[in-house]
Amino acid sequence: MLSLRIFIIASVIKTVLVIFILLTAVAYTVWLERKVVGHMQNRWGPTRVGPFGLLQPLADGVKFLLKEDLTPPHVYKPLFIAAPMIAVICALTSIAVIPFGTALPIRGYSIPLQITDVNIGLLVILGVTSIGVYGVALAGWSSNSKYSLLGGLRASAQMVSYEICLGLSLVGVLIVSGSFSLREIVQSQGGHFWGFIPKWNIFYGGQFIAFFIYLMSAYAETNRIPFDLPEAETELVAGYHTEYSAMKFAMFFMAEYANMITVACVATLLFLGGWSGPLFGPPLLVAILPTFWFVAKIFVFLFIYIWVRGTLPRFRYDQLMAFGWKFLFPLAIANLVVTALIVAYRSSL
């Protein structure tokens, strides 16, 4: 049991550390995207700033900071300013309940690699991300521009719709693992089937379907291609952030990529076994390896994100809604029913 003082110190250190890592990760996810997409499109991507353009995110950050912060005269100012803040705060907050690995033994204390372990962690993530919708919607409305308004409208409708599928896809996993706590969910995925297949939820029962639904919903929730209608450049100029520039724009940008990382984390934790993986080597390596596996899985997930962006075209809006309500939603319900039946059958054995 940690004393309150050590708890507070550890929490502050963890919070600062996690936010730093997260922001860095966001920056380099952007770099990764530019690089990967560039190679997919037969070009090099950023190469000039630093080796392989590795310093490009830093340069971008400086540029955003130094740019003139333009506030158009016709906007509703309080919300215009508040909207990007809501977006980025919600995106960063949700990382708080995500565990990155097993507890780290430091000076006799076992420090869990997680800012806070709440037993309804998954619900907290869902709640915070659902609040995040306001950022986009309010940005669209307060800009007082028709492109932004349409973007905001699309965003709120799309996100509310897909949140249902997202939640339903998670319920299957919750039934299997029997807990809302992310740490317990990961622990329930330890071990192997028949000695070699990892006992991840994605391989368990019908949860591959759940994973597919989650993937689709996650793309929609984060406004990514092929569901990036709220910010579709070709039709809405830039959607809800048309009127934004400089640091406010950067906040939306950061929020989007932070959200990507969050959903990648959740996917990893819920479907891909979290930090579980082969452990070997000296104790230090054993302590670090889980986090490595965790980051590696997130990387794979993010790569898929970028890969999809580089290959798929954008949906039309009615196709998007039809896909969500008429395909994913029934599929999620069916998956839920089947999973429940399987679990009930197993528990009756």
Partner 1 sequence: MLHLVLFLVFGAICVAGAINLLAQTHPISSALSLVVVMASLAVEYLLLGAEFVAAVQVIVYAGAVMVLFVFVIMLLNAGAEERTKGSHVALVLGVPGVLAGGLLVAWVLLKRSETGRVALGSLPGYPKTIGTLLFHEFLLPFEVTSILVLIAIMGAVVLASRPDAKTPSGKES
The contact set with partner 1 (CB under 8 A) reads 76, 79, 118-120, 123-124, 126-128, 130-131, 133-134, 137-138, 140-141, 149, 152-153, 156-157, 159-160, 163, 167, 180, 318
**How far is residue 349's CA from residue 335's CA, in Å, rounded to a whole number?**
21
| Cβ atoms within 10 Å, residue 314 | 16
CB 204 within 8 A of CB 185: no
- For the chain, count helices (H), then strands (E): 12, 4
Q: Smallest distance from the beta carbon of 346 to partner 1, in angstroms?
A: 18
Decide: 18 and 294 in contact? Cβ < 8 Å. Answer: no
Report in angstroms how near the CB of residue 93 gets to partner 1 at its nearest.
12
Q: Burial code of 32-63, b = ≥16 C-beta within 10 A, e = fewer?
A: bbbbbbbeeeeeebbeeeeeebeebbeebbee
Provide the minimum distance between the beta carbon of 8 and partner 1 in the complex, in angstroms, as a whole number. 15
Q: Closer CB to partner 1, residue 56 or residue 181?
A: 181
Integer Cα distance of 51 and 32 in angstroms = 14
How far are the Cα atoms of 173, 175, 207, 283 from residue 204, in angstroms, in the given order?
9, 12, 6, 31
**Three-class SS state of 26:** helix
Q: Which two tokens stand for residue 315?
A: 């949906």
Which residue, 13 or 160, has its beta carbon nearer to partner 1? 160
- Min dist CB 277 to partner 1, Å, is 29
Nearer to partner 1, 126 or 272 (CB): 126
CB of 133: closest distance to partner 1 in angstroms? 5
Whole-angstrom distance, CA of residue 78 vs CA of residue 75: 9
Nearer to partner 1, 217 or 276 (CB): 217
Q: Which amino acid is at 331?
A: L
Instruction: Give the whole-angstrom CA distance, residue 61 versus residue 104.
Output: 32
- Nearest residue (CB) to partner 1, 156 versus 262: 156
Which of 159/220 has CB closer to partner 1? 159
Alpha-carbon dihedral 244, 250, 252, 257, rounded to 10 degrees: 150
Shortest gap between Cβ of 310 and partner 1 (angstroms)?
Answer: 26
Q: Rounded to the nearest whole angstrom, what is the least distance from the CB of residue 201 to partner 1 in the complex?
A: 19
- Count of C-beta atoms within a 10 Å radius of residue 348: 6
Query: Which of 111/131 has CB closer to partner 1?
Result: 131
Torsion of the alpha carbons at 155, 156, 159 and 161, rounded to the nearest 10: -120
Q: Which is nearer to partner 1, 31 or 315 (CB)?
A: 315
- Angle (nearest 5°) at CA 120 between 301 and 337: 70
Over the range 274-300, which residues count as b (16 or more CB within 10 Å of their CB) and which as e?
Answer: bbbbeeeeeeeeebebbbebbbebbee
How near is the Cβ of 145 to partner 1 at its closest, in Å? 13
Q: Write down the least CB distance from residue 248 to partner 1, Å.
A: 18
Q: Which CB atom, from 122 or from 202, has the smaller least distance to partner 1?
A: 122
